């Protein structure tokens, strides 16, 4: 039942939808609905929405949903959909500015166009800048927070704060507050410090990285990238393959034949429960076969179907 209603708000310029399907907003193309979904017009509009949203309502943010499984019972409260194809990018004072809703590949190409180096790895991460900050996304030796100069967040009460990397304890796909307080806020913008370089070389490297991904990842099928974190000194994909799980399926979800750490939804028929059960099965089978307990990298949120 919706507790959030349009009457709670005035002056908004974004799009508010009640009982909104979230599958189209996740790269797995599966999962439940949001009581309320809000696409803000810009950062100030997002702040206005948060100020007017009843304080007891939970808030979840999704970028491109490329690392998220929303259970079939959906999400209570409000879901902020932050992907913004028209989001701002700029160069100023030696830093590259990006709105939180900008897609990472777009940021990588923008940086290359401005003769920066060190942003190429972002070209293959199909999420938003905000999602990359929340996950410390990375690949091929690059990591999001290693190139961050500062970030802007909007907090639950609608106020903005600016923070720097020293405010965070950053690890492999992990971002926590340095002072031990629980993670808070929505990343609305980031300023990156990319070394100056050769734009043509950066574009070449982007093409090479993308070619490597096309060759090794099932990019033609709905997926959420690597499902499990790599355990220290090993690769989750190797362990899953060694347990004979390539191609193993539950309902509409299957372990990719191309990359064993990917779960795909080929017919777009998988429920979130199919995917979650498959994740659990892979974990148990790998633990039984190798003694290693894999930890999910994907974030699983929401309620199971009643």
Ligand X SMILES: Cc1cc2nc3c(=O)[nH]c(=O)nc-3n(C[C@H](O)[C@H](O)[C@H](O)COP(=O)(O)OP(=O)(O)OC[C@H]3O[C@@H](n4cnc5c(N)ncnc54)[C@H](O)[C@@H]3O)c2cc1C
| Minimum CB–partner distance for residue 27 and ligand X (Å) | 4
- Using the structure block, give the residue that is written with the tokens 């979904």: 37
Q: Per CB under 6 A, does 130 bind ligand X?
A: yes
Site stretch for ligand X (CB under 6 A), options 38-46, 203-211, 221-229, 282-290:
221-229
**Calpha distance 162→170 (Å, rounded):** 17
| Minimum CB–partner distance for residue 254 and ligand X (Å) | 16
Q: Per CB under 6 A, does 82 bind ligand X?
A: yes
Of positions 32, 40, 74, 225, contacts ligand X by CB under 6 A: 225
Question: Dihedral of the CA atoms 223, 62, 59, 74 (nearest 10)?
Answer: -30
Question: Dihedral of the CA atoms 98, 104, 109, 113 (nearest 10)?
Answer: 20
Of positions 4, 69, 96, 137, contacts ligand X by CB under 6 A: 137
Site stretch for ligand X (CB under 6 A), options 105-113, 126-134, 201-209, 288-296:
126-134
Tell me how many residues contact ligand X (CB under 6 A): 33
Bridging pattern class, strands 75-81 and 59-62:
parallel
Q: Per CB under 6 A, does 32 bind ligand X?
A: no
| Minimum CB–partner distance for residue 4 and ligand X (Å) | 18
| Residues 11-30 within binding reach of ligand X (CB under 6 A) | 27
Q: Per CB under 6 A, does 67 bind ligand X?
A: yes
Active site residue 117: no
Of positions 53, 61, 70, 112, contacts ligand X by CB under 6 A: 61
Q: Per CB under 6 A, does 126 bind ligand X?
A: yes
Q: Per CB under 6 A, does 296 bind ligand X?
A: no
Of positions 4, 224, 239, 260, contacts ligand X by CB under 6 A: 224
Active site residue 226: yes
| Minimum CB–partner distance for residue 135 and ligand X (Å) | 4
Active site residue 173: yes
Identified catalytic residue from 27, 66, 226, 271:
226
Site residues for ligand X per CB under 6 A: 27, 60-68, 82, 100, 124-128, 130-132, 134-135, 137-139, 186-187, 217, 219, 223-225, 299
The catalytic residue positions are 173, 226, 297
């Amino acid at each position: 039942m919706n507790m959030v209603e349009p009457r709670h708000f005035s002056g908004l310029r974004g799009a508010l939808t009640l009982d909104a399907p979230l599958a189209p907003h996740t790269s797995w193309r599966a999962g439940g609905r949001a009581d309320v979904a809000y696409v803000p017009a810009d950062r100030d509009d997002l702040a206005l929405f948060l100020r007017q949203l009843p304080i007891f309502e939970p808030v979840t943010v999704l970028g491109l949903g490329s690392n998220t499984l929303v259970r079939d019972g959906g999400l209570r409260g409000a879901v902020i959909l932050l992907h913004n194809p028209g989001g701002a990018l700029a160069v100023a004072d030696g830093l590259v500015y990006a709105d939180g809703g900008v897609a990472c590949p777009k940021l990588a190409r923008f940086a290359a166009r401005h003769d920066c180096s060190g942003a190429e790895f972002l070209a293959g991460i199909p999420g938003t800048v905000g999602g990359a900050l929340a996950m410390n996304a990375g690949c091929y030796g690059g990591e999001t927070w290693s190139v961050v100069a500062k970030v802007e967040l909007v907090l639950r009460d609608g106020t903005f704060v600016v923070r720097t990397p020293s405010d965070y304890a950053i690890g492999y796909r992990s971002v926590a507050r340095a002072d031990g307080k629980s993670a808070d806020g929505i990343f609305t913008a980031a300023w990156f410090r990319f070394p100056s370089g050769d734009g043509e070389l950066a574009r070449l490297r982007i093409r090479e990285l993308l070619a490597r991904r096309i060759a090794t990842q099932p990019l033609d099928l709905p997926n959420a990238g690597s499902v499990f974190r790599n355990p220290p000194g090993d690769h989750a994909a190797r362990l899953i393959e060694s347990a004979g799980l390539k191609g193993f399926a539950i309902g509409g979800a299957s372990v990719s034949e191309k990359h064993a750490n990917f779960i795909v939804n080929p017919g777009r028929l998988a429920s979130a429960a199919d995917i979650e059960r498959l994740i659990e099965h892979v974990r148990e089978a790998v633990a039984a076969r190798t003694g290693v307990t894999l930890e999910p990298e994907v974030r699983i949120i929401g309620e199971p179907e009643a």
